[in-house]
Amino acid sequence: MNIDILQGKKHIHFIGIGGSGMYPLAQILHTKGYYLTGSDNNETETLQAVRDMGIPVFLGQRAENIEGADLIVHTAAIMADNPELIAAKASGVPVLERSELLGIVTSWYDNAICVAGTHGKTTTTSMVTQILFTAGVDLSAFIGGKLPCIHGSGRSGSSDIMTCEACEFVDTFLKLYPDISVLLNIDADHLDYFGTVENIIKSFHKFAVLTSKAVIYNGSDPNTCKAMEGITGKEQITFGKTPDCDYYPADIQHVSGLETHFQLMHHGESLGEIVLHVAGEHNVLNAT
């Protein structure tokens, strides 16, 4: 994939701009100074948020909506018979699928933190984003859900740090440029695409290979450990349920329905008490 494809481009048109994976990209590219237009079939709260940013949105998808664009982006859900997509492909203008554009965007940052796993991606990406944002880091973010502190699912900042939810479905995370990757867990999911758990493990292994600086992975999850076999040339940090991991929780106390307290441990020493306001033991691991 040509990561320089956006150079010299001024007007980018998004087919399906109201999609959960399109909106955060629109936020980032709009802030970077690109002129955006978009279209969608259904009126949504997200579409109104896009309009509130000053981005023109067409309701309904018609061939003439792409006029003037020098790059066209579409979601994987757009069907081949979509009139805008047909016009885009006939126009000679470069056309990208959303995940390809996300990959290019991650390449712009020296510290792209990409969070992968069959469960907990949105939660953990949100936690990392909230921690950095609250600490005053002017980061960029791409999250598959809305995070109140950043007023949306995306954010464009001036630092070299980006947090990114990395989805394994149809191997889209292999288009990213992760500097630091987080591997939460690997379970049998999306078997209509992968066929077997072994194939999922292989994809996560490839994702770890792509990572340039450090992989933070679940040392208590056998499938994730299997995916890390043979990985070299980057820092490897484990988290998990037990003291054989670099970081692990201890003294877990469920104070009330939504509040959990635990000690965050690092090689036998407590780094302090963590107070969580999301329920469940799985979120203790996500927070760790």
Both structure tokens of 49: 């948020």
Residue 269's CB is within 10 A of a number of other CB atoms, namely: 8
Q: What are the sequence ranges of the domains in the chain?
A: 11-103, 109-239
Q: For the structural domain made of 11-103, what CATH number should be given?
A: 3.40.50.720
- Please spell the DSSP secondary structure of 188-238, one letter per residue: S--HHHH-SHHHHHHHHHHHHHH-SSEEEEETT-HHHHHHTTT--SSEEEE
Whether the predicted model's global pTM rises above the 0.85 cut: yes
Q: What is the CATH number of domain 109-239?
A: 3.40.1190.10
pLDDT of residue 1: 66
Distances (CA, A) of 59 to 66, 167, 204, 279: 13, 28, 38, 39
Element of type H or E holding 154: strand 152-155
Q: Can you tell me the distance from the alpha carbon of 183 to that of 284, in angstroms, rounded to the nearest whole number?
A: 15
pLDDT-flagged residues of the chain (< 70):
1
CA atoms of 173 and 200, how far apart (whole Å): 12
What is the pairing mode between strands 35-40 and 11-15? parallel
85-39-166 Cα angle (round to 5): 80
What pLDDT score does 139 carry? 97
